[in-house]
Amino acid sequence: MELQNDLYLRALRREKTERTPVWLMRQAGRYLPEYRKVRAQAGDFMTLASTPEMACEVTIQPLERFPLDAAIIFSDILTIPDAMGLGLYFETGEGPKFKNPISNAKQIADLPVPEADDLQYVMDAIALTTKTLNGRVPLIGFSGSPWTLLTYMIENGGSKTYAKSKALLYKTPELAHQLLDKLTQSIIKYLIGQIQSGASAVQVFDSWGGVLSPTDFQQFSLQYMQQIVTGLKAAGFGDTPIILFSKGANQSLTALSQTGCHALGVDWTIDIGKAQELTGNRVALQGNLDPATLYAPDAFIDTAVKKVIDEFGDQPGHVFNLGHGMQPDMQPEKVAVLVDAVRKHSTRKHEA
């Protein structure tokens, strides 16, 4: 299917673009009243995420409001642990939980490696959304990283200290590697299924990479993301752009840029110009405005957007995004201000 707007894919391949493309993490979510309406109809999060028609509807909602350059499939990073039999559910006000969290070696040994069709509802949602978009913009597929999925499976949700996860790494590293290896195999199959179903690019969310020391990051996170990139290429899907986003792992940006991925997500705790230096223009960069900027007055948002665009400079390979996701209490009107500012300032830059 020919895309009417391929700016995003061209930027990921570091080709020249007329302006900087923009999309936002969690752009389909609770800050939109139309999302909350569908979420209420679904009754619970997993029903929404696992019903292709609903997932398609909320994926496309932000594009109806804002001239964004990509859609990202509405799903969750914990679909793979759920398919492994952990029993994902969402506790009101507490986030994700598992009925069967990992607590011993036998559980890890017994974990299956899901096939793509074990997550058929995600593939169906991608196929339906691709068909519904009809070439309007690219659709992004995604997965959590092996390390990030491990933390949720061990901690049974989010954590402030990651004590159980790090205890696994330090006390029984062989068990950690066994689990990470199974997750890596699953993620490769999952992302291949997403590409085959219609995803034009795929992103790996390493949300908790930054809680590891540089040495541990290399051993327990980076090497497995490297295996995912290598695995997708070996399977013949190397032309599909692969984005790695490791939040808080700025000390490892150089190593991340050497994995063979097409692009890196960059959080807001580093200047994007410095990120360019560290990555040596090997990859495109996606980011990196502090999401909290959207609480500011419109003029402040406009200036902050311009600063990121100016700092990146005139070379190709920038996708504008936040340094993390939208928050539920943000105002949709502020997203409009941000998107307009990206279009205004980056078009002028490329014309200059």
| Annotation: binding site | 26-30, 76, 152, 207, 324
Determine contact, residues 126/194, Cβ cutoff 8 Å: yes
For residue 39, indicate whether it is catalytic: yes
Helical spans, DSSP H, in 208-327 = 214-217, 223-234, 253-257, 272-279, 298-312
The one catalytic residue in 76, 82, 118, 206 is 76
Check residue 289 and report its DSSP letter.
E
Catalytic residue (choose from 10, 14, 19, 39)? 39
Give the strand pairing for 88-91 and 95-98.
Answer: antiparallel
Among candidate residues 14, 19, 26, 343, the one labeled active-site is 26
Beta carbons of 279 and 263 less than 8 angstroms apart: no
Angle in degrees, CA 203, 62, 321, rounded to 5: 45
In the chain, count of helices (H) and strands (E)? Answer: 16, 9
Catalytic site residue from 8, 31, 35, 152:
152
Amino acid at the residue 319 = V
- What is the helix (H) or strand (E) element at residue 192, kind and residue range? helix 173-197
Task: Please give the structure tokens belonging to residue 196.
Answer: 């085959």
Q: Enumerate the known binding-site residues for substrate.
A: 26-30, 76, 152, 207, 324
Active site residue 30: yes
Alpha helix (H) residue ranges in 25-158? 33-42, 45-50, 52-65, 79-81, 105-110, 120-133, 146-155
Residue 190 is among the residues annotated as catalytic for this protein:
no
The answer to whether the bond into 134 is cis (omega within 30° of 0) is no
14 is catalytic: no
Active-site amino acid positions: 26, 30, 39, 76, 152
